[in-house]
Amino acid sequence: MKKQMSDSWLLAVFLTLAGGFQDAYSYNCRGQVFANAQTGNIVLLGQNLATGHPGRALHYLLPLLAFVLGVYLAELVRRRFQHVTRIHWRQTVLLGEIALLAVTGFFPQTMNVPANILLSFACAMQVNTFRKFRGLSCATTMCIGNMRAAASLLCGYHQTHDPELRRQSLHYYFVIAVFAVGAAVGAVLSQRIGEPAIWIAALLQLIGFFLMFAHTPDPDEPA
């Protein structure tokens, strides 16, 4: 049975690099709003409302709403196209993300609000679409769940000495490190290149899109 390339660790690397890059880009280049870390946006939304800055609060509210809509759309695509065999439904979502990031790179600083809306929408599509890699639940756009899983598995390994738990824990720590690398590169390039730097993240996702052609999904394998 051929395995889906859509849950390979190689694909996870490219998507996680892009995820870290997007968060650093939105924070450094788009008015200190998080594309991926919606918890941070909720904190800043509450802070600005509490300190009497409702206009600034909108900068965080709109990306939050876009995130919800992005998850909704990605789930709708999955439900309607998961049995299509010509192209995997995850590739369809990924193409949409790439298009959104490509458009965002053309937006000047005066359009940071719509830029952050598109970024959060794209991030939501990714986080809802790519949730598991080789049987392990894993996020490519944020780290808190990965950190919890890594620490929990490491504790299990120390208690049971099961090498499989150690292997899984190291996988999570590896993904966290990859995210940090993507964020570091995103921070540097955002400051040097400016708005078009997001095209680097789109390129990473495009590589992931073509990687998914490497294996034909088994129609009997759960999506």
Domain that holds residue 13: 5-211
CATH number at residue 190: 1.20.1250
pLDDT for the residue numbered 6: 56
Question: Do the domain assignments include residue 191?
Answer: yes
pLDDT digits (tens, 9 = 90+) for 55-77: 899 999 999 999 999 999 999 99
Distance CA 84, CA 62 (A): 33
pTM, two decimal places: 0.87
* Average pLDDT score over residue span 114-125: 95
User: Which whole-number Å values give the CA distances from 112 to 13, 16, 74, 131, 170, in the listed order?
Assistant: 28, 23, 24, 28, 37
pLDDT for the residue numbered 155: 96
pLDDT digits (tens, 9 = 90+) for 129-144: 888 887 788 888 888 8
Question: Do the domain assignments include residue 217?
Answer: no
Question: Do the domain assignments include residue 59?
Answer: yes
* Tokens describing residue 141: 């756009």
Distance CA 163, CA 147 (A): 19
Question: Do the domain assignments include residue 222?
Answer: no
Question: Do the domain assignments include residue 54?
Answer: yes
Question: Do the domain assignments include residue 221?
Answer: no
Helix orientation angle between 38-50 and 54-81, rounded to the nearest 10 degrees: 150
Q: Are 8 and 133 in contact (CB under 8 A)?
A: yes
* Listed residue (123, 124, 145) closest to 198, CA to CA: 123
pLDDT digits (tens, 9 = 90+) for 175-206: 999 999 999 999 999 999 999 999 999 999 99
Position 7 confidence tier, pLDDT thresholds 50, 70, 90: low
pLDDT for the residue numbered 134: 77
Question: Which run of H or E residues covers position 133?
Answer: strand 132-133
Residue 222 carries which side chain, given as an amino acid letter?
Answer: P
Position 1 confidence tier, pLDDT thresholds 50, 70, 90: very low
pLDDT for the residue numbered 169: 93
* Domain count within the chain: 1
Question: Do the domain assignments include residue 218?
Answer: no
Q: Are 100 and 121 in contact (CB under 8 A)?
A: yes
* Average pLDDT score over residue span 200-213: 93
Q: Are 97 and 205 in contact (CB under 8 A)?
A: yes
